[in-house]
Amino acid sequence: MALSSILIIMFFHTLQGGLGATFTFVNKCDHTVWPGILSNSGSPKLDSTGFQLTKATSRSFQAPTGWSGRFWGRTGCNFDQSGSGSGSCATGDCGSGQTECNGAGADPPATLAEFTLAGAGGQDFYDVSLVDGYNLPMVVEAGGGTGTCAATGCVADLNRRCPAELRMSGGGACKSACEAFGTPEYCCSGEYGNPNTCKPTAYSQLFKSVCPRSYSYAYDDPTSTFTCTGADYRITFCPSIPNRYEAFTNKSKGIERLIISTITRSSDAGRFFMDSGLGHR
């Protein structure tokens, strides 16, 4: 009996480990979003690489332990009813011509949610990145795990505060300075390809002031990477902001700043608190 009990416990432990995490996508936008999914090289594919998510709906996927990859939202897509025609999207397009991205990533600019499950120390690592630009508000929340498990994301509409030189034609997305100008100092490449030489720029500081928990440039790790163990995750597009926010212009630096006075929202992951971001000047 004792041996049987041990074997049963080991079986369920293995089963749980194999399941990894459940990712649930929620669309709170007032329009349809087409999430894209890209698994990293060597990581198993999920059940889908892209799908349609109409407003006020959700969809979940299971990812195995050790999975790593990224998610993003596509907007303004014109796929046919079968999703297999030669369509495209206004922002976040992956170039497949289909609802499924089939191993292709997002064409910048696009807000990205990046994950590594059961990485170093068995922890999950996750972040929301604006390094490739911004197209949609997005929040990532962890539920049922242990550790810090903080919520992260960009809840503000950065498109409304996007500098003209970064604004995508049509205003539906905001480019990164790297995408707009392509120079090493903005792209953290060449002689700027390390954290000692690649520093925040006026543009990345703008992104950081608006979205203080998101990656604003390549070496923004300390304030932008979060960890949790054994959690499931919810990715929400256009999350609601119940409390007021205030925007003002920092004339001394020529940077528009958004203060999120008290963003407090309840969720399965607990309470989500984001400060004003003034500590990220």
φ, ψ of residue 238 to 5 degrees: the values are 55, 55
* Residue 72, domain member (yes or no): yes
Question: What is the CATH classification number for the domain harbouring 33?
Answer: 2.60.110.10
**Which pLDDT band holds residue 207 (cuts at 50, 70, 90)?**
very high
Whether residue 254 is predicted with pLDDT greater than 80 in this model: the reply is no
Measured distance CA(30)–CA(159) in Å, rounded:
16
* Residue 217, domain member (yes or no): yes
DSSP per-residue string spanning 220-272: -GGGT-EEEBS-EEEEEES----S--EEEEETTTTEEEEE---EEEEETTEEE
Tokens of 149: 């498990």
Query: 21, 50, 45: which is closest to 33 by C-alpha?
Result: 50
* Residue 156, domain member (yes or no): yes
Query: 124-162 pLDDT, tens per residue?
Result: 999 999 999 999 999 999 999 999 999 999 999 999 999
* Residue 143, domain member (yes or no): yes
Tokens of 11: 């079986």
Q: How many domains does the chain have?
A: 1
**Number of Cα atoms under 13 Å in the Cβ half of residue 97:** 3
Predicted TM-score (pTM) above 0.75: yes
* Residue 4, domain member (yes or no): no
* Residue 194, domain member (yes or no): yes
- Average the pLDDT over each of 12-21, 90-99, 198-207, 216-225 and give the range with the smallest value: 12-21
DSSP per-residue string spanning 52-85: -B-TT-EEEEEE-TT-EEEEEEEBS----TTS-S
Whether residue 52 is predicted with pLDDT greater than 90 in this model: the reply is yes
Q: Largest Cα–Cα distance of the chain, in whole Å?
A: 74
Measured distance CA(84)–CA(278) in Å, rounded:
46
* Residue 32, domain member (yes or no): yes
Query: 251, 249, 233, 32: which is closest to 139 by C-alpha?
Result: 233
What is the number of other CB atoms lying within 10 angstroms of the CB of residue 167? 16
The answer to whether residues 19 and 65 touch, using CB atoms and an 8 Å cutoff, is yes
* Residue 255, domain member (yes or no): no
Domain region containing 192: 20-241
The amino acid sitting at 103 is: G
158 Cβ contact list (under 8 Å, min separation 6)? 130, 134, 137, 174, 207, 210, 211
- Average the pLDDT over each of 81-95, 103-117, 164-178, 223-237 and give the range with the smallest value: 81-95
Measured distance CA(145)–CA(131) in Å, rounded:
27
